[in-house]
Chain A
Amino acid sequence: MEQALQRQVGTEKVVVSAFLKLQGIEKRFGSFTALKGVDLDIAKGEFVCFLGPSGCGKTTLLRIIAGLEAQSAGTLHQGGRDISRLPPAGRDYGIVFQSYALFPNLSVADNVAYGLVNRKMPKAQVRERVGELVKLVGLPGSEGKFPAQLSGGQQQRIALARALATKPGLLLLDEPLSALDAIVRVHLRQEIRSLQRQLGVTTIMVTHDQEEALAVADRIVVMNQGAIEQVGTPMQVYRDPATPFVADFVGRINVLPATLESGDRVRIGATSFHCPHAHAPGGDVKIYLRPEDVLARPIQPGDANVFDASIDKIEFLGSYCLVRVQSPALGEHRLTVYLSLNFLAEQRLEVGGRLPLKLLPDRMRVFEG
C-alpha cells in the first residue's frame, strides 16, 4: 500500500496521507460474510477500480463507502474525517449507478440541478452550472429533454453530470457501463477517464470487466470472496499477479502442473524448464503463463525453454488466432498461445502442423500446487 502511494508522487519519498482510508471493513449478512476485514487506502485524485466476479463483495464495499449499507465492523475516514457512521447525506460523494437512476419525470436540466437546487443556489447560477455540466459530458443543448428521449449512453452521461454537479470530493461509479452496448462502453469509459483526469476527482469504479479496469484505472483492487486478493497498477496486476485467482481472473492464462527441481528449474511433463521464480526444491506447483509469453519467434539457437509442438486446434479471432498446441515435451498438458494470422499463413501452419515454441523464463509465475 505504502509503495503504491509513494509511486503516486514519483520518486520523492513523501508519504501521502490517504484521502479515503478503509480499516478492517467487515460485512455480515446473517451467517454469510460478504466482506472479511478489508483495509484500503486511496490517494486524492486516484482512479481506483474494484474488480472481481459477481458476489465478491465489490459492490457491497462501494455501498459501504457511500453509506448505503452499514458495515458490521471497521472504520472509514474521508479527508481525515471519520465517516464510519455518517448517513449518506452526511458524506461527500456523487454516485452513478448501472441503471442510471435518472428521474424520468424531470428534464435533463432538472435532473442535473437536483442537488444544486437543494443548496439554495440562485436560479441563474444553477442554470449556468447545469449548462457547464452538460457541456462537460458532451451533451450541450440537451437541457430540455427528458431521460426517455436519450440513448443509454447519453443517459449515463447525464447521470454523471448530476453526480458531479455538487463538486463532490469522491465519485463512485457502480458498474456504470454494464448496461451499455460494447462500442458505447469503450467510448464512454475513455471519456470518463479523461473527465476524471481533467477534474482530478478521486474516483472509485466497480466493475466485473477486467478489460475496463485495465484500461482506465490508476490502481486495481482485485477482490474475491469478500477479501482483497491484490492491489496494484493495471500492469502489476496483469504482469505480476499476486495469487492464482488474480492470474486466472485478469486476462487469459495457461496453468501447467509442475514439480520444483533443484535451483531455478521446474519439471513440466517430461521436460525440465528454466524458471527464475522457482526456489525451494521439491513439491508440486502450478506454473502460470500467459499465451503471449509463449513465443513462436524470435527463437535463437541455444535459447532455453524451447520445445517442438504440434497444433491441435485453431480458433480464429481476427488479426490473431488462439492456438491450442500439444507436445511430448509437456506430457499430456495442452498449451494456448497467440499466433498472428500472418505468421500462420507465412509458415503454412494448419491443424497438425509442427513448430518450435519458447516459454519466456521470467514470465513463468510459480504458485503452490
Chain B
Amino acid sequence: MSTLALPLRATAGDRVAHVALGGVALVLLLFLAGPLLAVLQQSVQNADGRFVAFANFISYAKTPALLQSLWNSLWVAGVVTLVAVPAAFWFAYALTRSRMRLKPLFRGITLIPLLAPSLLPAISLIYWFGNQGVLKGWFGLDQIYGAPGIVVAEIFAVFPHALMILVTALATADARLYEAADSMGTRAARKFFTITLPGAKYGLISAALVVFTLVVTDFGIPKVIGGNFNVLATDVFKLVIGQQDFQRGAVVALLLLAPALLTFGVDRMISAKQTAMLTARAVPYRPKRVRWFDALMTSYCVIIALLVLAMLGMALFASFASFWPYNLKPSLRHYAMGLFDAEVGEGFVNSLRMAAGTAVFGTALVFVGAYLLEKTQGAGPLRSGVRLLAMLPMAVPGLVLGLGTIFFFNAPGNPLNGLYHTMALLTLCTIVHFYTTGHLTAVTALKSLDAEFEAVSASLKVPFYKTFWRVTLPICTPALVDIARYFFVNAMTTISAVVFLYSPETKVASIAILNLDEAGETGAAAAMAILIAAASAVATFLFWLLSLWIERRTQAWKAE
C-alpha cells in the first residue's frame, strides 16, 4: 500500500480560482490591511519616522484636553445608547408583536434618515433649537450646540440602525413557546420577561454595541453641532488636518478602533449563538389583536414618526426658506447657491460617480470574493486570510480607514502614490469601508444554494466559472441588486472615510455640506443634504424597480 497525503491535482479551473482569490486578497491587503498597519506604524513613531514605542500614547495621556475628549465621547455614546436602544426596541416591538395598522408606513418613515448623511439631524436641530431656532430656549435648552445637540442628533441618526437589528431579533419568535406559556395560564408580563426578552437578548446587546460604536466614531454630527465640545472623532480631524500631528492623530484613531473591535468581537460571538436558538421546526409567531395594546403601540409609533418627520421636515423647509429666519418664503436660493456658487454641483456629480463606481465595482468584488470563498476548493491559507480581511472592515471606523489610507498612500515610498487624491482611491476606500455588510449578504445568498452544484458540474466536466455564470450568478441577482443598493446609498452619504482623501477636484457632496456649514451657509448645507437624500431615494427606487423586473423574469423557475 502506498501512502499518499497529497491533495488532489489542481485543475486549470482551480488555478483560475486561486489567482482570482489572490486578486481579491491583494485589493483587501492594499486598501485595508496597508492603511491599518500605517496607522499602527504612525502611532509608534515620532514626526521624523523614528520608533518611539509608546511615547505618543504617554504624551496623549498627559494632555488633559485630549483626555477630556475621550471622556466626552464615552459618556455621550453611553447616553445615546441608553435612550436610542429602548426607544428602538419598543418601536420594533410594535412592528413585530402588535396588530397595529400602517406598519410599512411607520417603518418606512423611520428608515428615511439612512438615505441622508448622518449630519442631517444636526442641521435640522440647529433650525429648531439653534441661535435662530424656531423653538430656541424651549425644554430649558438655552444652548443646543455641544453635548445636548450631539446627543439628540445622534439618537435620530442611530435609531434606524438599532431598529433594523431589533426588528430582526424580534421577528424570529417561536409561537409554540407562547402557546405553551398560555396553556399554563402565564400572565403577559411574565411571558415578556421569560420568553420575549431572553429571545431578543442578543439583538439588544448587538444593537447597544452598534449604537455605541456608531456614536463614538461619528464625525459629521459633532462637527456640525458640537461647538466647543470636543470628542475623539473631531480630535482626530483637528490633530491631523489642523495641526498635522499625525502621530497623536494615529493614537486617537487607535482609541476609536477599540470600541469598534470590541463590538465586532462580541457580535461574532453572539451571532454564533443566535443561529442555534431558532430551530427549523419553529412555528412563526402571529400577534393577536388586543385593542388597548395596539392603540398604545400606535400612539407610540405616531410620536416617534412625527419626531422623525419633524427632523426631516425642518431640514427640507429650511432648505427652501429664502432667508432664515427673516424671510421664510420658499425659494431655490440655497440650492442655486450650493450647486453653482459653492460649486457643490461638481461635488454632487463626483458623489454620483463615486456611488456608481462603488456600486458596480464593489458589488463585483464582494460577490466574486464571496463566491470564491464559499464555492471553490484549495489554497487554504489564502482562503482564511481573505475570510478574515472580508470581516475586518466592520470593525474599522471610517475615520480610521480614511486616516490610514492617507498615511499609506501618501507615503513617498509607495509606488501607488499616484492614486492619492484620485477618484479611484475614494471609490476603493469606500468599497472597503462597507465591504463586510455586502460580503455577508453575498455569503448568505450563496449558502442558500445547493452545496453540490459545484460537485455536479465537476462530475460533468464543466469548469466552475461556467457554472458561476450560468447558474450561481442568475440565482443570486436579487442579492446582487441589494448589495449594489447598499453600496450606492452609503457611498452617497459617507463622510468619515472620505474626509481625509478628497482633493479640490474630487470633493464629494457630503464633504461639501461640511464645508458649507463651516462657512455659515447652513441653509445651503441643508439643501445639499436633502439633495443627497433625494438622490439616494431615487436610486433606492430604481434598484427596487430593477429587483421587481428580475423577479418577474425569474418567475418561471421560481414558480410554486
**Residue A199 at the chain B interface, CB threshold 8 Å:** no
The 16 listed contacts between A and B (C-beta, < 8 Å) are A23-B1, A75-B1, A89-B13, A89-B458, A89-B463, A100-B450, A101-B453, A101-B455, A105-B554, A106-B470, A106-B471, A146-B559, A162-B456, A163-B459, A165-B460, A172-B459
Task: Select from chain B the residue with minimum beta-carbon distance to A100.
Answer: B450
Annotate B436-458 by CB proximity to A: 1 below 8 A, 0 otherwise. 00000000000000111101111
| Closest CB pairs A-B (n = 8) | A115-B460, A88-B458, A24-B1, A101-B452, A146-B557, A73-B3, A97-B452, A103-B471
Task: Select from chain B the residue with minimum beta-carbon distance to A94.
Answer: B459
Enumerate chain B residues within 8 angstroms of A87, measured Cβ to Cβ.
Answer: 8-11, 14, 458
**Residue A215 at the chain B interface, CB threshold 8 Å:** no
A97 pairs with B456, CB closer than 8 A: yes
Task: Enumerate A28-82 residues with CB–CB distance to B below 8 Å.
Answer: 37, 66-68, 70-75
**Residue B62 at the chain A interface, CB threshold 8 Å:** no
Annotate A86-121 by CB proximity to B: 1 below 8 A, 0 otherwise. 111111011101011101111100000011001100
- Nearest-neighbour CB distance to chain A for B501, whole angstroms, equals 40
Annotate B8-20 by CB proximity to A: 1 below 8 A, 0 otherwise. 1111011000000
**Residue B180 at the chain A interface, CB threshold 8 Å:** no
Enumerate chain B residues within 8 angstroms of A197, measured Cβ to Cβ.
Answer: none
**Residue A190 at the chain B interface, CB threshold 8 Å:** no
CA distance A106 to B459 in the complex (A): 18
**Residue A148 at the chain B interface, CB threshold 8 Å:** yes
A73 pairs with B4, CB closer than 8 A: yes
A88 pairs with B459, CB closer than 8 A: yes
Task: Select from chain A the residue with minimum beta-carbon distance to B450.
Answer: A101
Interface residues, chain B, with chain A CB atoms under 8 Å away: 1-11, 13-14, 450-453, 455-463, 466, 470-471, 474-475, 554, 556-560
Enumerate chain A residues within 8 angstroms of B554, measured Cβ to Cβ.
Answer: 105
Enumerate chain A residues within 8 angstroms of B3, measured Cβ to Cβ.
Answer: 24, 73-74
Enumerate chain B residues within 8 angstroms of A23, measured Cβ to Cβ.
Answer: 1
B4 pairs with A71, CB closer than 8 A: yes
**Residue A149 at the chain B interface, CB threshold 8 Å:** yes
Enumerate chain B residues within 8 angstroms of A91, measured Cβ to Cβ.
Answer: 459
A149 pairs with B559, CB closer than 8 A: yes
Task: Select from chain B the residue with minimum beta-carbon distance to A115.
Answer: B460
Partner of B462, one of A85, A107, A115: A115
Task: Select from chain A the residue with minimum beta-carbon distance to B460.
Answer: A115
Interface residues, chain A, with chain B CB atoms under 8 Å away: 23-24, 37, 66-68, 70-75, 84-91, 93-95, 97, 99-101, 103-107, 114-115, 118-119, 146-149, 162-163, 165-166, 168, 172
Task: Select from chain A the residue with minimum beta-carbon distance to B471.
Answer: A103
| Other A-B pairs, 16, CB within 8 Å; known A97-B456, A105-B554, A118-B461 | A68-B455, A70-B8, A85-B4, A87-B14, A94-B460, A95-B456, A97-B455, A101-B456, A103-B470, A104-B557, A105-B557, A115-B461, A149-B560, A163-B456, A165-B460, A166-B460
Indicate whether A85 sits within 8 Å of B456 (C-beta atoms), given known contacts A75-B4, A103-B470.
no
- Nearest-neighbour CB distance to chain A for B23, whole angstroms, equals 22
Task: Select from chain B the residue with minimum beta-carbon distance to A72.
Answer: B5
The winner among B4, B456, B457 for most chain A CB atoms within 10 A is B456
CA distance A71 to B2 in the complex (A): 12
Enumerate chain B residues within 8 angstroms of A103, measured Cβ to Cβ.
Answer: 453, 470-471
Enumerate chain A residues within 8 angstroms of B456, measured Cβ to Cβ.
Answer: 95, 97, 101, 114, 162-163
CA distance A149 to B466 in the complex (A): 24
The winner among A87, A99, A147 for most chain B CB atoms within 10 A is A87
Enumerate chain A residues within 8 angstroms of B4, measured Cβ to Cβ.
Answer: 71-75, 84-85
CA distance A37 to B1 in the complex (A): 10
CA distance A266 to B475 in the complex (A): 66
Partner of B459, one of A70, A95, A104: A95
- Nearest-neighbour CB distance to chain B for A368, whole angstroms, equals 28
Partner of B557, one of A67, A148, A165, A166: A148
Partner of A85, one of B6, B451, B470, B556: B6
Enumerate chain A residues within 8 angstroms of B471, measured Cβ to Cβ.
Answer: 103, 105-106
CA distance A101 to B461 in the complex (A): 16
- Nearest-neighbour CB distance to chain B for A120, whole angstroms, equals 12
CA distance A168 to B461 in the complex (A): 11
Task: Select from chain B the residue with minimum beta-carbon distance to A170.
Answer: B459
Task: Select from chain A the residue with minimum beta-carbon distance to B453.
Answer: A101
B463 pairs with A85, CB closer than 8 A: no
Enumerate chain B residues within 8 angstroms of A73, measured Cβ to Cβ.
Answer: 1, 3-5
Enumerate chain B residues within 8 angstroms of A89, measured Cβ to Cβ.
Answer: 11, 13, 458-459, 461, 463
A148 pairs with B452, CB closer than 8 A: no
CA distance A97 to B4 in the complex (A): 27
CA distance A324 to B89 in the complex (A): 59
Task: Select from chain A the residue with minimum beta-carbon distance to B455.
Answer: A68
CA distance A67 to B461 in the complex (A): 12
A114 pairs with B462, CB closer than 8 A: yes
B452 pairs with A99, CB closer than 8 A: yes
Enumerate chain B residues within 8 angstroms of A74, measured Cβ to Cβ.
Answer: 1-4
A88 pairs with B463, CB closer than 8 A: no
- Nearest-neighbour CB distance to chain B for A155, whole angstroms, equals 11
Partner of A93, one of B1, B459, B559: B459
B9 pairs with A85, CB closer than 8 A: yes
CA distance A97 to B458 in the complex (A): 13
CA distance A163 to B461 in the complex (A): 11
Enumerate chain B residues within 8 angstroms of A166, measured Cβ to Cβ.
Answer: 460-461
Partner of B455, one of A70, A95, A100: A95
B462 pairs with A118, CB closer than 8 A: yes
Partner of A70, one of B7, B14, B460, B475: B7
Partner of B475, one of A68, A97, A100, A104: A104
B558 pairs with A148, CB closer than 8 A: yes
Enumerate chain B residues within 8 angstroms of A118, measured Cβ to Cβ.
Answer: 460-462, 466
- Nearest-neighbour CB distance to chain B for A144, whole angstroms, equals 10
- Nearest-neighbour CB distance to chain B for A149, whole angstroms, equals 6
Enumerate chain B residues within 8 angstroms of A104, measured Cβ to Cβ.
Answer: 475, 557-558
CA distance A66 to B460 in the complex (A): 11
- Nearest-neighbour CB distance to chain A for B556, whole angstroms, equals 6
B475 pairs with A67, CB closer than 8 A: no
- Nearest-neighbour CB distance to chain B for A235, whole angstroms, equals 31
B556 pairs with A146, CB closer than 8 A: yes
Enumerate chain B residues within 8 angstroms of A71, measured Cβ to Cβ.
Answer: 4
- Nearest-neighbour CB distance to chain A for B450, whole angstroms, equals 5
Enumerate chain A residues within 8 angstroms of B455, measured Cβ to Cβ.
Answer: 66, 68, 88, 95, 97, 101
- Nearest-neighbour CB distance to chain A for B459, whole angstroms, equals 5
Indicate whether A86 sits within 8 Å of B8 (C-beta atoms), given known contacts A97-B452, A148-B558.
yes
B9 pairs with A90, CB closer than 8 A: yes
CA distance A360 to B427 in the complex (A): 83
Enumerate chain B residues within 8 angstroms of A68, measured Cβ to Cβ.
Answer: 455, 458
Enumerate chain B residues within 8 angstroms of A149, measured Cβ to Cβ.
Answer: 559-560
B559 pairs with A148, CB closer than 8 A: yes
CA distance A105 to B7 in the complex (A): 33
Enumerate chain B residues within 8 angstroms of A94, measured Cβ to Cβ.
Answer: 459-460
- Nearest-neighbour CB distance to chain B for A64, whole angstroms, equals 10
Task: Select from chain B the residue with minimum beta-carbon distance to A76.
Answer: B4
CA distance A37 to B3 in the complex (A): 10
Enumerate chain A residues within 8 angstroms of B1, measured Cβ to Cβ.
Answer: 23-24, 37, 73-75
- Nearest-neighbour CB distance to chain B for A162, whole angstroms, equals 7
CA distance A280 to B450 in the complex (A): 55
CA distance A149 to B453 in the complex (A): 19
CA distance A163 to B450 in the complex (A): 16
Enumerate chain A residues within 8 angstroms of B466, measured Cβ to Cβ.
Answer: 118
CA distance A94 to B460 in the complex (A): 7
CA distance A114 to B462 in the complex (A): 8
CA distance A70 to B4 in the complex (A): 10
CA distance A73 to B7 in the complex (A): 10
- Nearest-neighbour CB distance to chain B for A58, whole angstroms, equals 17
CA distance A99 to B1 in the complex (A): 35
CA distance A93 to B456 in the complex (A): 10
CA distance A305 to B559 in the complex (A): 64
The winner among A86, A94, A105, A168 for most chain B CB atoms within 10 A is A105
CA distance A92 to B328 in the complex (A): 79
